[in-house]
Amino acid sequence: MRRVAFKMFLKPGFEEEYEKRHKEIWPELRRLLYDNGIRDYTIYWDKETNYLFAVQKIEGEKSSQEMGTDPIVQKWWDYMADIMEVNEDNSPITIPLMELFYMK
Protein backbone atom coordinates (compact mmCIF):
# COMPACT_ATOMS: atom_id res chain seq x y z
CA MET A 1 0.00 0.00 0.00
CA ARG A 2 1.38 3.38 -0.91
CA ARG A 3 0.71 6.70 0.79
CA VAL A 4 0.29 10.06 -0.86
CA ALA A 5 -0.06 13.49 0.70
CA PHE A 6 -0.96 16.83 -0.79
CA LYS A 7 -2.23 20.21 0.24
CA MET A 8 -5.04 22.36 -1.09
CA PHE A 9 -6.31 25.83 -0.19
CA LEU A 10 -9.69 26.52 1.41
CA LYS A 11 -11.16 29.96 0.84
CA PRO A 12 -11.46 31.92 4.12
CA GLY A 13 -14.76 31.60 5.94
CA PHE A 14 -15.76 28.24 4.43
CA GLU A 15 -14.41 25.88 7.10
CA GLU A 16 -17.85 24.82 8.38
CA GLU A 17 -19.25 24.40 4.86
CA TYR A 18 -16.25 22.30 3.81
CA GLU A 19 -16.67 20.06 6.84
CA LYS A 20 -20.45 19.79 6.28
CA ARG A 21 -20.06 18.77 2.64
CA HIS A 22 -17.55 16.08 3.56
CA LYS A 23 -19.73 14.72 6.35
CA GLU A 24 -22.40 14.31 3.67
CA ILE A 25 -20.06 12.84 1.03
CA TRP A 26 -22.05 11.21 -1.71
CA PRO A 27 -22.30 7.40 -1.43
CA GLU A 28 -21.38 7.03 -5.10
CA LEU A 29 -18.20 9.05 -4.59
CA ARG A 30 -17.26 7.06 -1.49
CA ARG A 31 -17.85 3.83 -3.43
CA LEU A 32 -15.79 5.07 -6.40
CA LEU A 33 -12.84 5.94 -4.16
CA TYR A 34 -13.03 2.60 -2.38
CA ASP A 35 -13.42 0.63 -5.62
CA ASN A 36 -10.27 2.34 -6.92
CA GLY A 37 -8.18 1.30 -3.93
CA ILE A 38 -8.35 4.30 -1.62
CA ARG A 39 -8.57 2.67 1.80
CA ASP A 40 -7.77 5.51 4.14
CA TYR A 41 -8.29 9.20 3.39
CA THR A 42 -7.84 11.97 5.93
CA ILE A 43 -7.97 15.73 5.45
CA TYR A 44 -6.65 18.16 8.06
CA TRP A 45 -7.20 21.91 8.18
CA ASP A 46 -4.49 24.40 9.19
CA LYS A 47 -6.49 27.21 10.78
CA GLU A 48 -3.64 29.74 10.49
CA THR A 49 -3.08 29.34 6.73
CA ASN A 50 -6.36 27.81 5.49
CA TYR A 51 -4.38 25.02 3.88
CA LEU A 52 -5.96 21.58 3.78
CA PHE A 53 -3.53 18.72 4.24
CA ALA A 54 -4.67 15.39 2.78
CA VAL A 55 -3.24 11.91 3.26
CA GLN A 56 -4.38 8.82 1.38
CA LYS A 57 -3.43 5.18 1.67
CA ILE A 58 -3.90 3.57 -1.72
CA GLU A 59 -3.99 -0.04 -2.89
CA GLY A 60 -4.93 0.90 -6.46
CA GLU A 61 -3.26 2.80 -9.24
CA LYS A 62 -4.59 6.32 -8.68
CA SER A 63 -5.02 8.85 -5.92
CA SER A 64 -8.33 10.69 -5.78
CA GLN A 65 -6.72 13.60 -7.62
CA GLU A 66 -5.87 11.33 -10.55
CA MET A 67 -9.49 10.26 -11.11
CA GLY A 68 -10.59 13.47 -12.81
CA THR A 69 -11.94 11.78 -15.93
CA ASP A 70 -14.72 10.15 -13.92
CA PRO A 71 -18.04 12.04 -14.08
CA ILE A 72 -18.67 11.57 -10.35
CA VAL A 73 -15.33 13.18 -9.51
CA GLN A 74 -15.99 16.01 -11.96
CA LYS A 75 -19.40 16.61 -10.37
CA TRP A 76 -17.79 16.71 -6.89
CA TRP A 77 -15.15 19.15 -8.10
CA ASP A 78 -17.88 21.41 -9.50
CA TYR A 79 -19.72 21.17 -6.18
CA MET A 80 -16.63 22.17 -4.19
CA ALA A 81 -15.29 24.86 -6.58
CA ASP A 82 -16.99 27.77 -4.82
CA ILE A 83 -15.12 27.21 -1.56
CA MET A 84 -11.63 26.16 -2.73
CA GLU A 85 -8.89 27.37 -5.02
CA VAL A 86 -9.37 25.43 -8.25
CA ASN A 87 -7.98 24.96 -11.75
CA GLU A 88 -9.94 25.86 -14.89
CA ASP A 89 -11.64 22.42 -14.88
CA ASN A 90 -12.70 22.99 -11.22
CA SER A 91 -10.25 20.39 -9.93
CA PRO A 92 -8.73 21.56 -6.68
CA ILE A 93 -5.28 23.05 -6.97
CA THR A 94 -3.18 20.42 -5.25
CA ILE A 95 0.43 20.59 -4.23
CA PRO A 96 2.03 17.16 -3.79
CA LEU A 97 4.04 16.68 -0.62
CA MET A 98 7.10 14.46 -0.46
CA GLU A 99 7.31 11.98 2.38
CA LEU A 100 10.48 12.45 4.42
CA PHE A 101 9.72 10.23 7.41
CA TYR A 102 7.35 7.37 8.21
CA MET A 103 7.23 5.34 11.40
CA LYS A 104 5.10 2.24 11.41
Is residue 22 annotated as a catalytic residue, yes or no? yes
Q: Check: CB of residue 76 under 8 Å from CB of residue 33.
A: no
The beta strand positions in 14-91, using DSSP E, are: 38-46, 51-58
Options 2, 3, 20, 22, the catalytic residue: 22
Give the CB-side neighbour count of residue 3, counting CA atoms within 13 A: 13
Residue positions annotated with a catalytic role:
22
